[in-house]
Structure 1
Amino acid sequence: MTVLALRALGLGDALTGVPALRGLKRLYPDRSLVLAGSDPVSSWLQRLGVVDEVLATDGLAGPPPGRSVGPHTAVNLHGRGPQSHRLLLDGSPDELIALDCPDAGFRSTTVWRADEHEVERWCRVVRDAGGSCSPEDLRLDVPSTPSDAVLVHPGAASVARQWPPERWVAVVTALQEAGRRVMVTGGPAERELCGLISKPTGCEDVSGLHDLDSLAELVAGAALLISGDTGVAHLATAVGTASVTLFGPTPPQWWGPAIDPNLHTVLYHGTEPGDPHADRPDPALLSITVQDVLAAVSPPD
């Protein structure tokens, strides 16, 4: 019988689900673990041995993934429902492991908790089913070549989590004046944003040049990553690269680094969650100053 886990989300979300996936492999060592998830992230996790197979799934659209795998246990690591629960139930699983969701007609003793770290939430779902996992399972073994580069990643999926470009320019300028080598990273859709930082500073711009495998190797080998609350920050946590992460609107106690506090510095001046889908930078994010970031990068002796 197959174990089908649904987590059809982006890089950061997928990485926070890795401990739960490893817990499922321990719980069902003799079964194939299939991840219904988004590519290229899901296939990358398969290459790293986190899952056995991938069933490419575009969010919650399309037919129920369970119809393609025969007899199976379905595990909802995607959300609290009801849509994700219904998608899995429509695949006729022999068993569903998921959070309690009366609206989907599914009851469980494992209930949603709003004020909970994302890693712990999905670990709890698997532990309640009998599996063993913890934040320590976040770690990924990625090949790398060590370098002295400081990576600056200015982009994020929503404008609410994007620190202003002119502040990134000030940070990069100060780092270069201090003799640091700086590289700006980003996906193909972020090349224009990265150009706003690389052109006035003359730093190396590698935005749009890396697939996920080579980006992971770049991050794993870097001396430091500075970014907002986005997928590449979770990648730094997974590969053990020192990081400085600027948070807002989402509090770091929900999405911040869950391991190695000595490696990761979190900057957050908020008092309550903001709108993660807003069309302007969150006020808590804007309250982080250039000097805050530079102090985090080079703390006083």
Structure 2
Amino acid sequence: MIIDTRLPMIPRTIVVLRALQLGDLLCAVPAFRSLRIAFPTAHIALLGLPWSKTFVDRFDRYLDEFIEFPGYPGLPEQPVAVSAIPDFLTAMQRRRFDLALQMHGSGQYTNQLLTLLGAKMTAGFVPAGDQSPDEGLFMPYPDHVPEPERHLALLRHLGIPAYDHRLEFPLNGQDTATFRRLQSVHGLEAGSYICLHPGGRGSARRWAPHLFGSVADRLVKQGYRVVITGTEEERPVTKVVMTHMRENATDLVGQTDLGTLAVLLSRSAQLIANDTGVSHLAAALQVPSVIVCVGSDPIRWGPQDRVLHRVLIGQATTVEEVLAEVQALDALSFYRSTRTESVNCLEHIIADFRAYGSLNRPSPRESQQSNVSGLR
């Protein structure tokens, strides 16, 4: 199927610039998926931070190649390897990609870099009010919209169908095997625990650790099991949380890689966290969550499903507010489980009626039960 787009040619090779962190890449997955659907045979490369190689390996349905980004002046995500930039640009220009897509911010710093990549076509965002290099291929950077929608809007601007906002995170056998070893040590039964993730990038974007500790204590007293998660770099924060706790919690800080954390989350009852990458992971896995947004835009970065994911805003968020949302999500899960059981029961009744023509006539299950009773 050939799609009629604004692009001067159908791209056979595409490079996407998005040298950012986990949450940023998860929010771009709907755009990656739409690109793959639109150009199923194209070679699509991600130009990203060093850690992103594992992301590309996991999302190999949409992405074919990882290219390490050396950094660029004005971009704060990593130290700039100035000496590596000339060789990097030379290598990119030799490859002559058909299309370079700028999905890394407004374009204030990255659009100059984009032209230096030497692609036949360039497209992306420009800061609102700035002159566009090409109005057909660049659009004003849309503020105050959900992050996944921002990149889908860019693709639609290019004439590429892009309407599916769903996040996703595929799990593999290695993820499950690693989790099972962790599960055997700690006795983690599915649905029996709540994950507490108090870390996040920058103290200004984290809810107070002592409040996380209070929430954990209250949950344990209410009969929940609490599992504390985080990277090794986040241990100073989690240590403060546990210092303020009086009850016991399972400490898995530094013991999970991304895939293992995803399996752990997928089998949890809920997640309580700051607005950070793990929040988007829970959204991708459809795990109920309570997210405290401190110093970030909840419209841009908060989960879009506000039924399954509850968003509380600001450092002034109270322990009682968090616990109220936990209880509301518990009630929702109970309702959905009982509703599913009721639907399954109704489906059995309808199947029996279709098979035997009357609800009064015994079904095979009832006949079997009668026969068993007669044998006793």
- What is the TM-score of this pair, normalised by structure 1? 0.86
- Pick one of 134, 146, 158 that aligns with 1:117: 146
1:99 alignment partner, SS class: strand
Alpha-carbon displacement from aligned partner over 1:235-259 (angstroms, at most 9, x marks no partner): 100111111000122231111112x
Alpha-carbon displacement from aligned partner over 1:62-85 (angstroms, at most 9, x marks no partner): 434733643331001111113211
Higher helix proportion (structure 1 or 2)? 2
- Pick one of 16, 29, 32 that aligns with 1:21: 32
Q: Which residue of 1 aligns with 2:134?
A: 107
Q: Which residue of 1 aligns with 2:350?
A: none
Q: What is the aligned length? A: 284
Aligned: 1:209 with 2:255: yes
Question: What one-letter code is carried by the residue in structure 2 that aligns with 1:71?
Answer: F
Partners of 2:35 and 2:219 in 1: CA distance: 43
Residue ranges of structure 2 left out of the alignment (5+ in a row): 1-11, 73-79, 180-189, 332-376
Partners of 1:248 and 1:84 in 2: CA distance: 27
Residue ranges of structure 1 left out of the alignment (5+ in a row): 269-284
Alpha-carbon displacement from aligned partner over 1:199-249 (angstroms, at most 9, x marks no partner): 434311111111222122222222111001111001100111111000122
Alpha-carbon displacement from aligned partner over 1:113-132 (angstroms, at most 9, x marks no partner): 22222111111111111222
1:119 alignment partner, SS class: helix
1:98 alignment partner, SS class: strand
* Aligned residues of 1:27 and 1:132 also touching (Cα < 8 A): yes
Higher relative CO (Cα under 8 Å, sequence separation at least 6) belongs to: 1
CA 1:297/1:254 → structure 2, altered by over 3 Å: closer, same or farther?
A: same
Alpha-carbon displacement from aligned partner over 1:119-153 (angstroms, at most 9, x marks no partner): 11111111111222235331233256744221111
Q: Which residue of 2 aligns with 1:98?
A: 124
Aligned: 1:265 with 2:277: no
Partners of 1:36 and 1:122 in 2: CA distance: 16
Between the two proteins, what is the percent identity of the paired residues?
30
After alignment, is 8-17 or 196-205 more displaced? 196-205
Q: How does 1:54-65 map to 2 (within 5 A)?
A: 54-60=66-72, 61=80, 62=85, 63-64=88-89
- Pick one of 326, 335, 340 that aligns with 1:297: 326
Partners of 1:206 and 1:175 in 2: CA distance: 17
* Aligned residues of 2:58 and 2:170 also touching (Cα < 8 A): no
Q: Which residue of 2 aligns with 1:44?
A: 55
* Aligned residues of 1:151 and 1:224 also touching (Cα < 8 A): yes
Q: Which residue of 1 aligns with 2:336?
A: none
Question: What one-letter code is carried by the residue in structure 1 that aligns with 2:266?
Answer: A
Q: How does 1:1-301 map to 2 (within 5 A)?
A: 1-49=12-60, 50-60=62-72, 61=80, 62=85, 63-64=88-89, 66-67=92-93, 69-100=95-126, 106-109=133-136, 110-143=139-172, 146-199=190-243, 200=245, 201-258=247-304, 260-268=305-313, 285-299=314-328
After alignment, is 56-65 or 25-34 more displaced? 56-65
Alpha-carbon displacement from aligned partner over 1:41-62 (angstroms, at most 9, x marks no partner): 4422432333111112254344
Partners of 1:251 and 1:135 in 2: CA distance: 22
CA 1:99/1:184 → structure 2, altered by over 3 Å: closer, same or farther?
A: same
Partners of 1:42 and 1:84 in 2: CA distance: 21
Partners of 1:23 and 1:189 in 2: CA distance: 34
* Aligned residues of 2:28 and 2:151 also touching (Cα < 8 A): yes
Q: CA deviation at 1:104?
A: 8.5
2:14 alignment partner, SS class: strand
Q: Which residue of 1 aligns with 2:371?
A: none
Partners of 2:292 and 2:94 in 1: CA distance: 41
CA 1:156/1:68 → structure 2, altered by over 3 Å: closer, same or farther?
A: farther
CA 1:227/1:125 → structure 2, altered by over 3 Å: closer, same or farther?
A: same
Question: What one-letter code is carried by the residue in structure 1 that aligns with 2:14?
Answer: V
Question: What one-letter code is carried by the residue in structure 2 that aligns with 1:82?
Answer: Q
Partners of 1:204 and 1:79 in 2: CA distance: 38
After alignment, is 233-242 or 188-197 more displaced? 188-197
Partners of 2:295 and 2:153 in 1: CA distance: 25
Whose Rg is larger?
2
Q: CA deviation at 1:86?
A: 1.5
CA 1:137/1:67 → structure 2, altered by over 3 Å: closer, same or farther?
A: farther
Q: CA deviation at 1:192?
A: 1.7
1:17 alignment partner, SS class: helix
CA 1:103/1:113 → structure 2, altered by over 3 Å: closer, same or farther?
A: closer
